[in-house]
């Protein structure tokens, strides 16, 4: 119980710091504050999908149900965070780059990853008990595909030159901003853990229910 | 090796007699090319070609394993005292041959409808086509086995195949564009690199993963 409360408190603190305490960025003005939501969401979703990948490998290898539960729960939460990334990104991009979307390597990778895990969740929804191994295989090949997506998207860049404001290494953050970003990062990761625990509990319960019904 | 040839022969015989996959894939490909040409996609010919091939493949490959389920033949195959990967390889080669046949028709129509001439380096185009097709078939055959049991396989296969195939699509379209514009093999080396890596990844992954897909 302590984990969700702590996560909620930290997220609220993070949002407050981002909106009220963080200094205005000289170059971009107020819109930059979405950074404090956008970047932690990216980190949380990529952590979540990495957990799904590792759990999927372990599930195929050890054949233990608990790994499959972790993979499923983590993928779902990862998809929620990635959806937030894809929504906040364009909102930030429009005022700063002058466009909602550009086929930059990282944007492309995030979008395609969203589609891959949409397929993953559809398999889980439609294939029942047989779908668990299929889903694990999708998570694995999807994860292995990421470097290739990134590589191929870099070929696109010559077709679509980047707006001058876009800096691949990100803005150099002064420590006042970096601290607040770190708070938000911690808050989002804590929120991920809290949600993961809730979803795992539900999945465990479902498995137990199915077992007892089978008896 | 004998087992592999037996599986390959079985699949080709079935396709030869039932003529289920190749004709429907070819007609769909022709329709897509026609629709694209009629709606002014001539300027984006390479993109149209590869999207057509991907969609046609995803239609055919969704069925390729499903036909094994009819009388539970897949279980029989899996029970056979052979390495299960051979089932994948045999099926994959059969699918590749079907796909190449479909591609022959598609390319013929593509040349006419999109007013494309023979490029200066036909070998470069052939390499791009072969690598791209191999990548699509290798990934698609694995996915086809995975969705065979799902109720919604006809929808599920494209939903899984298209995003995973994005690197292939991007590289193949750009390489085709350059080669058709008269550039040589040297100009498309990084695109060919992506295509080769893709084929390598999805040629190697099933060796480890296929067993988990078909095992009961």
For A138, the token pair is 């999708």
Question: Which of B65, B57, B74, B68 shows the shortest CA–CA distance to B22?
Answer: B57
* CA B146/CA B148 separation, integer angstroms: 6
Nearest CB to A115 within list B147, B163, B202: B163
Q: What is the ipTM of this complex?
A: 0.88
Nearest CB to B156 within list A123, A137, A155: A123
pLDDT of residue A188: 94
Q: What tens digit of pLDDT does each residue of B4-45 get?
A: 888 888 888 888 887 778 888 999 999 999 999 999 888 899
Give A171's pLDDT tier (boundaries 50, 70, 90): low
- Per the CB < 8 A criterion, the answer to whether A176 and A22 are in contact is yes
* List of chain B residues with pLDDT < 70: 216
Give the DSSP letter of residue B81.
S
Tell whether the model's pLDDT for residue A163 goes beyond 60.
no
From chain A, pick out residues whose CB is under 8 angstroms from the CB of B201.
141, 144-145, 148
Instruction: Tell which wins on pLDDT, A27 or B137.
Output: B137
* CA A94/CA A98 separation, integer angstroms: 5
The alpha-carbon gap from B146 to the nearest alpha carbon of chain A, in Å, equals: 6
The residue assigned the tokens 């056979």 is B80
Nearest CA in chain B to A114: B163
Residue B184, sorted as left (phi over 0), alpha (psi -120 to 50) or beta, turns out to be beta
Asked if A138's CB is within 8 angstroms of B205's CB, the reply is no
Tell whether the model's pLDDT for residue A147 goes beyond 50.
yes
- Distant-in-sequence contacts of A62-69, Cβ < 8 A, 24+ apart: A65/A207, A68/A132, A68/A135, A68/A136, A69/A200, A69/A203, A69/A204, A69/A207
Asked if B198's CB is within 8 angstroms of A134's CB, the reply is no
The SS3 call for residue A25 is strand
> B188 pairs with which residues across the strands?
none
Give the DSSP letter of residue A18.
I
Mean pLDDT of A176-204: 92
Instruction: Tell which wins on pLDDT, A39 or A174.
Output: A39
Backbone angles phi, psi at B46, to 5 degrees: -60, -40
Write the burial class of residue B79 (CB in 10 Å: 0-12 exposed, 13-18 middle, 19+ buried). exposed
Tell whether the model's pLDDT for residue A170 goes beyond 70.
no
Q: What tens digit of pLDDT does each residue of A76-124 get?
A: 999 999 999 999 999 988 888 888 888 888 888 899 999 999 999 999 9
The alpha-carbon gap from B205 to the nearest alpha carbon of chain A, in Å, equals: 7
What is the CB-side half-sphere exposure of residue B80 using CA atoms within 13 A?
17
pLDDT of residue A116: 96
Mean pLDDT of A179-196: 93
Least confident of A9-18, A171-180, B119-128: A171-180
* CA A148/CA B139 separation, integer angstroms: 14
* Chain B residues within 8 angstroms (CB to CB) of chain A: 139, 142, 146-147, 149-152, 156, 159-160, 162-164, 166-168, 170-171, 174, 190-191, 194, 197-198, 201-202, 205, 209, 212-213, 215
Asked if B160's CB is within 8 angstroms of A123's CB, the reply is yes
From chain B, pick out residues whose CB is under 8 angstroms from the CB of A155.
170-171, 174, 190-191, 194
pLDDT of residue A161: 45
Provide the H-helix boundaries in chain B: 2-18, 21-38, 45-64, 66-69, 73-79, 84-113, 122-147, 153-164, 166-180, 189-214
How many CB atoms neighbour CB B72 within 10 A? 9
From chain B, pick out residues whose CB is under 8 angstroms from the CB of A145.
164, 167, 201
Asked if A116's CB is within 8 angstroms of B198's CB, the reply is no
Mean pLDDT of A62-66: 91
Question: Which of B57, B31, B50, B70 shows the shortest CA–CA distance to B172?
Answer: B50
Hey, CA dihedral for A133, A50, A118, A72, is it positive or negative? Answer: positive
CA B196 to chain centre: 15
- Per the CB < 8 A criterion, the answer to whether B56 and B157 are in contact is no
Nearest CA in chain A to B210: A137
Asked if A138's CB is within 8 angstroms of B160's CB, the reply is yes
From chain B, pick out residues whose CB is under 8 angstroms from the CB of A115.
159, 162-163
The alpha-carbon gap from B17 to the nearest alpha carbon of chain A, in Å, equals: 31
Hey, CA dihedral for A112, A118, A121, A127, is it positive or negative? Answer: negative
Interface probe, candidates A53, A128, A142, A145, chain B, greatest B C-beta count within 10 A: A145
Give the DSSP letter of residue B115.
T
Least confident of A169-178, A199-208, B78-87, B118-127: A169-178
* CA A132/CA A151 separation, integer angstroms: 30
pLDDT of residue B216: 62
A-B interface: how many C-beta pairs under 8 angstroms? 89
């Amino acid at each position: 119980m302590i984990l969700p409360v702590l996560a909620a408190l930290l997220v609220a603190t993070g949002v407050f710091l981002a909106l009220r305490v963080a200094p205005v960025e000289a170059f971009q003005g107020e819109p930059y504050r979405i950074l404090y939501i956008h970047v932690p969401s990216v980190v949380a979703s990529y952590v979540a999908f990495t957990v799904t990948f590792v759990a999927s490998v372990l599930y195929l290898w050890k054949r233990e149900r608990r790994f499959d539960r972790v993979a499923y729960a983590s993928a779902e939460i990862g998809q929620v965070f990635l959806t937030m990334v894809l929504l906040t990104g364009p909102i930030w991009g429009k005022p700063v780059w002058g466009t909602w979307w550009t086929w930059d390597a990282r944007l492309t990778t995030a979008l395609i990853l969203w589609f891959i895990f949409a397929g993953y969740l559809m398999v889980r929804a439609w294939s029942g008990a047989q779908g668990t191994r299929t889903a694990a295989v999708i998570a694995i090949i999807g994860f292995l595909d990421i470097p290739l997506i990134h590589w191929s998207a870099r070929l696109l860049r010559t077709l679509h030159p980047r707006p001058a404001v876009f800096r691949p290494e990100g803005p150099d953050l002064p420590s006042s901003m970096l601290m607040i970003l770190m708070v938000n990062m911690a808050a989002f990761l804590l929120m991920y853990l809290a949600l993961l625990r809730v979803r795992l509990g539900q999945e465990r319960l479902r498995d137990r229910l199915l077992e007892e019904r089978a008896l | 090796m004998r087992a592999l040839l037996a599986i390959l022969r079985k699949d080709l015989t079935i396709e030869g007699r039932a003529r289920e996959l190749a004709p429907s894939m070819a007609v769909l490909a022709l329709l897509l090319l026609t629709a694209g040409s009629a709606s002014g996609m001539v300027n984006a010919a390479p993109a149209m070609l590869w999207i057509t091939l991907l969609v046609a493949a995803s239609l055919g490959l969704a069925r390729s394993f499903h036909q094994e389920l009819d009388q539970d033949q897949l279980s029989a195959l899996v029970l056979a005292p052979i390495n299960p990967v051979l089932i994948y390889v045999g099926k994959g080669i059969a699918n590749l041959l079907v796909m190449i046949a479909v591609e022959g028709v598609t390319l013929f129509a593509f040349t006419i409808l999109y007013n494309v001439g023979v490029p200066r380096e036909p070998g470069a185009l052939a390499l791009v086509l072969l690598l791209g097709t191999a990548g699509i078939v290798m990934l698609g055959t694995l996915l086809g086995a995975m969705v065979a049991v799902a109720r919604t396989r006809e929808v599920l296969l494209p939903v899984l195949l298209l995003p995973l195939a994005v690197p292939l699509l991007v590289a193949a379209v750009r390489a085709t564009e350059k080669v058709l514009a008269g550039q040589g093999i040297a100009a498309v080396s990084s695109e060919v690199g992506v295509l080769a890596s893709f084929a390598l990844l999805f040629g190697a992954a099933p060796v480890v993963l296929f067993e988990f897909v078909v095992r009961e």
